[in-house]
């Protein structure tokens, strides 16, 4: 069952599931973020790794070329046409053993041809979320740091999972920055 704002607020306070936690949706002049009726809208931070083809390399998840990314820090990130950037959430998540999060991109960006990709926030996982932001358009795309980028929906089970992400020592456990592919 998808959990309500009251349940999310309770776990954010009691279990520190989301830090920092914004108790009401902020939307005045910004792309919205914070607690919503059945989810939590996360923000994108101000550090980005922008993909570039200056080295004419092949993108290989088993042997990712770090030189294919340019580091950028600022309030607005411009993603080149038909390219992508990596970023991280402002919020740090600490998922309980009986909760999984599903992350979906915000429609404000999707309506501009900007697509975000995420994996589930597994039970027992903790860290900052690494965000992949794709510009599918033939034009440069603007991303606003410290504003909303996606919404997390939380699913709770009646019991704890047998093996959590922490138990299996997942390779992205406790990530604190923009984390590149790992084997």
Q: Return the active site residues.
A: 132
Query: How far, CA to CA in Å, does 175 sit from each of 8, 42, 51?
Result: 22, 16, 20
Cα torsion at 92, 98, 99, 100 (round to 10°)? 100
Q: Strands 83-94, 18-19: parallel, antiparallel or unpaired by DSSP?
A: antiparallel
Q: In 10 A of CB 144, how many CB atoms? A: 17
What percent helix, strand, coil does the chain show, rounded to 5? 10, 45, 50
């Amino acid at each position: 069952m998808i959990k309500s704002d009251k349940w999310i607020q309770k776990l954010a306070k009691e279990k520190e599931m989301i830090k920092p936690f914004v108790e009401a949706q902020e939307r005045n002049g910004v792309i919205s973020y914070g607690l919503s009726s059945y989810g939590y809208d996360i923000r994108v931070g101000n550090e980005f790794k922008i993909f570039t083809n200056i080295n004419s390399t092949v993108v290989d998840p088993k042997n990712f070329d770090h030189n294919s990314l340019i580091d950028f820090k600022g309030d607005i990130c411009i993603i080149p046409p038909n390219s992508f950037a990596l970023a991280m959430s402002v919020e740090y998540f600490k998922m309980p053993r009986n909760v999984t999060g599903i992350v979906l991109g915000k429609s404000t960006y999707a309506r501009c041809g900007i697509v975000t990709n995420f994996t589930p926030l597994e039970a027992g996982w903790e860290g900052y979320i690494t965000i992949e932001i794709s510009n599918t358009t033939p034009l440069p795309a603007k991303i606003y740091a410290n504003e909303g980028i996606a919404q997390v929906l939380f699913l709770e089970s009646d019991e704890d999972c047998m093996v959590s992400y922490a138990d299996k020592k997942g390779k992205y456990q406790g990530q604190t920055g923009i984390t590149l592919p790992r084997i």
